[in-house]
Amino acid sequence: MTLYAIGDVQGCAEAFNKLLKQLAFNGSRDRLWLVGDLVNRGPDSLGVRRRVIALGDSALCVLGNHDLHLLAAAAGARSANGTDTFQDVLAAPDAEALIDWVRRRPLLYRDPERRIVLVHAGIPPIWKVKQAAEYAVEIETMLRGSSWKKGLRDMYGSSPLEWRDDLDDEDRRRFTINALTRMRYWDPRGRLDLDNSGPPGSQPANLVPWFDARPKRRRKWHIVFGHWSALGFVRRDDVTALDTGCVWGGALTGVPLDPRGPPVQVLCKPGGAPLRP
């Protein structure tokens, strides 16, 4: 049995299927972790969604910011914009069941035996992994409940940027969502930065990548994440970054986590179609 992880698919169904073949993934034997953002920007969000659902218990996916945007659009809490490409999901005859499947995905997953955490964007340096998991459960409970549409109406916004233990419920949930699904850089004074998305070295001098601002206690866990296409593939003792920008003409990347193995990539054209050999 091999545990694989794959970066942001973003509606690139053809590249996703090709990568599964190159990995020789076998759902009866292997397991697959997906870092979120299954949908949007690519040409076939519905195809990706159906493929992952068909994998059943062999695949685990956390929620990314584009997945939450899909839920918000389905709830009427946010309008789709001109660059969104998940209308095929919303227009599907079984759209309600598809949306219910999405809103029951975890926001964060941790494997205590392997000491690996799966999350879309990262974990803020001020939190221990246990804290991040507890705050994620609050969001997951909201999304799975009968009032999930109302909860999504309060989800959007870029404040607060600074964590405090006395934040009210709405601000606490918004900070949690922004940290776990949108974060790239961190202000060492203790604030999220949600404006800068370029590669390390392009940011203002007061910012550092969130994983370089972490306390030493975080090193007990290995964090697998995506979201940051300008960062590209990074593999260190403490983190694995997997968003290599397939939809932007980069690649879709998969990597064996356990047992550890080299990355496998499907090179893509802009728009997410695989380059032909």
Residues forming the active site: 66
SS (H, E, C) 82-113: CCCCCHHHHCCCCHHHHHHHHHCCCCEEEECC
142 within 8 A of 154, measured Cβ to Cβ: no
